[in-house]
Amino acid sequence: MKRFRANAAALCAFFTVAFAGFCQIAASSVPEKRTDVFSTGRVSGRLCGEVLEAGPAEDTCSIGKYDIVVARDGSGDFLTIQEAIDAAPYYCREATVIHIRPGVYREKVTVPANRQKIHLVGDDAMTTVICWDDYALKPDCYGNPMGTSATSTVFIYGDDFLAENITFENSAGEGKDIAQACAVTVDADRVAFIGCRFVANQDTVYTYGKGQHQYFRGCWIEGTTDFIFGASTAYFEDCTIFSKKDSYITAASTPEGEPFGYVFRNCRLEAADGVTKVYLGRPWRPYARTVFIDCVMGGHIRPEGWHNWDKEYAEKTVFYAEYGSVGEGAGTSGRVEWSCRLERGEVSDYLPDNVLDAGAEIDKNGNIVPTEWFFKEIF
């Protein structure tokens, strides 16, 4: 028995030493994990609103120093955009400004609901690209089609989000084997995009959330079918809307009772060569609301302008209107009889401040107070 115990003890000691040696060898063979100065020193110990000087991020912009820098070559704080977003504080009272240096970032990105006031800044939308290639008919881990709602390259769930000078792209392509493939899904309130590009085919921009408000200024949005769609209230100002196929631009699903759906103001409606028959929109849901004001419409816009999606009942419930647009496709004499032209006195109702009014909320003292846009200087 004693001999057995001695042998067992020796065997145990042997395996202990061997295991320790194995761990040491394994650790030495695995590349050392990058220690990000921001994540270890500037985020984990920070209080929202502090002025932070630590970290390698030396880039500056009109608002001062960036909080985080993302660079594919390793010269910033993080290599990926998702790492930078994950490093931002929860429910911060101040903006977390993330500079994305030029490059094509092949990643699927999510801004969670608890990461609010995220501000992504690129130098130039043509050189700062977020790209992925999921599509609706792509098999998931169970072999089933993943569906439209899972395809976006970027998902935004955090309120008070702002992106500038960035391309959001879904590179899946198009066709019967692809179906829908979104570039961005916005399921958050008070979200804005300035000088951005949205590149995909069917269902490029998904303005998902009911009762939410989104603003697009100076953006390029391209696609084939229903490439701006969803339930949110969204304002498009000074944007270029580029149709790549004879099809439909918008497919609003505005909830019943909402005063506004989509508003396009001072936008240019352009098309690829050979595209000649494009509708302004069709109703994904029966109370769709879409308005075009002072836009330049190319000759690819069909004379009838709007389509009922083979839902005659929707003709009585949708609100499709135009005012002051010019160009070959802007003539309203041939528009469907169930669309309308705004009166001059109604146009002032469609200013950004009014359309994007985020309503009110009850504060901790029980008082009703207006809900303010955090990045309210943008319009």
Q: How many residues appear in the chain?
A: 379
Torsion, Cα 208 210 212 213, to 10 degrees, reads: 70
CA distance 200 to 345: 37
CA distance 164 to 272: 25
Alpha helices in 230-351 (DSSP H): none
Residue with tokens 């769930």: 157
**8: part of which helix (H) or strand (E)?**
helix 2-29
- State how far the alpha carbon of 235 is from the alpha carbons of 95, 170, 214, 232, in Å: 22, 22, 6, 10
CA distance 172 to 199: 11
CA distance 229 to 159: 19
CA distance 226 to 244: 11
Catalytic member of 123, 177, 226, 310: 226
Task: Check if the beta carbon of residue 301 is closer than 8 Å to that of residue 329.
Answer: yes
CA distance 98 to 35: 18
Task: Check if the beta carbon of residue 272 is closer than 8 Å to that of residue 244.
Answer: yes
Task: Check if the beta carbon of residue 297 is closer than 8 Å to that of residue 266.
Answer: no
CA distance 365 to 171: 49
Q: Hey, is 277 helix, strand or coil? A: coil
Going by DSSP bridges, is the β-strand pair 60-61/64-65 parallel, antiparallel, or unpaired? Answer: antiparallel
> Is 226 designated active site?
yes
The answer for 227, left when phi > 0, alpha when psi is -120 to 50, beta otherwise, is alpha
**In the numeric block, which tokens belong to residue 34?**
């990058």
Catalytic member of 86, 203, 238, 353: 203
- DSSP string for 269-296: EEE-TT---BEEE--SSTT-EEEEES-E
**270: part of which helix (H) or strand (E)?**
strand 268-271
Annotated active-site positions, please? 203, 226
